[in-house]
Amino acid sequence: MVPKPQLLRILDFVTVVLLLIATGLVFFYAPIEAIMGNVQKVFYFHVASAWVGMLSFMVAAVVGILYLAREERKWDTIGLSSVEIGLIFSIIAVVSGSIWARPIWNTWWTWDPRLTTTTIMIFVYAAYFMLRSGIDDPDKMARFTAVYAIIGFVSVPLTFFSARLYRTIHPVIIGSNQPGATSSFEMTVSMQFVFFFSLITFTFIYLDLLWHRVRLGILQEKIIQLKMKLYD
């Protein structure tokens, strides 16, 4: 059994502490929004989850470039791990956004530009795993999925800027809102503090999960290599 690195143990501890503090700040420090009430507190987890999703896909694109340049298996492992985490947090963002939207928009879902582009982004990265499962040769699979991760990243800025480029009811958190953004609100200083603290916390969660998933991927690769030696 490969021992857990001391730095990873520290990261585990820091991540848990930050998550506990962030949760406490959301429920006990952040003020209740005057119009939306308590349901607005979902916002802090919703936006942070969406941030992790986009960050994960950006990392996958970057390591995809590194794999094509160096053809080292570690970059493929990091890319796969990052896409897995990104897809999970993007789905969390959609679910939490629906919970937030239900009392505000009076519906769980609407084909708003931001929601539509987010759905497209999720399907793009779900297809990433279909591509991996359809290629038997490990090197060819790594090359193809690296290229796919780079091209698929186009869906990320499209999703991010959709609320700014098109008329939408989805609020723009940082910047000026569209006139029809029905769930828009002005953040107080305390709201801004909790918001950015949540973003930092979820970034630590991403880094912690990524490290754990990469370690698991490396161990899986070693097991595959050992099996191949047994059959040779």
| 52 CB neighbour count, 10 Å cutoff | 24
Distance of CA 221 to the CA centre of its chain: 25
The pLDDT of residue 81 is 96
Residue 110 pLDDT more than 90? no
Q: What is the pLDDT of residue 185?
A: 59
**Rounded average pLDDT over 86-103:** 90
In the predicted structure, residue 196 carries a pLDDT above the cut 60: yes
Which residue blocks in the chain are alpha helix, DSSP H? 6-24, 42-70, 73-105, 113-133, 138-152, 155-165, 189-231
Range from 104-113, 118-127, 166-175, 196-205 carrying the lowest mean pLDDT: 166-175
Instruction: Kindly write down the DSSP assignment for every residue of 93-106, as one continuous string.
Output: HHHHHHHHHHHHHS
Which residues, at least 6 apart from 146, have a Cβ–Cβ distance to it below 8 Å? Answer: 63, 64, 65, 67, 68, 75, 76, 79
pLDDT reading at 200 higher than 70: yes
Identify which of 76, 127, 93 has the alpha carbon closest to the alpha carbon of residue 199. Answer: 93
Query: How large a percentage of the chain has pLDDT more than 90?
Result: 56
Spatial contact of 113 and 163, defined as CB atoms under 8 Å apart: yes
The residues spanned by each domain of the chain are 6-27+37-231
Burial level of 228, CB count in 10 A (0-12/13-18/19+)? exposed
pTM: 0.88
pLDDT in tens, 133-145: 998 888 899 999 9
With vertex at residue 217, the alpha carbon angle to CA 120 and CA 60, rounded to the nearest 5 degrees, is 35
User: Where on the phi/psi map is residue 37: left (φ > 0), alpha (ψ -120 to 50), or beta?
Assistant: left
Residue showing tokens 């009392």 = 103
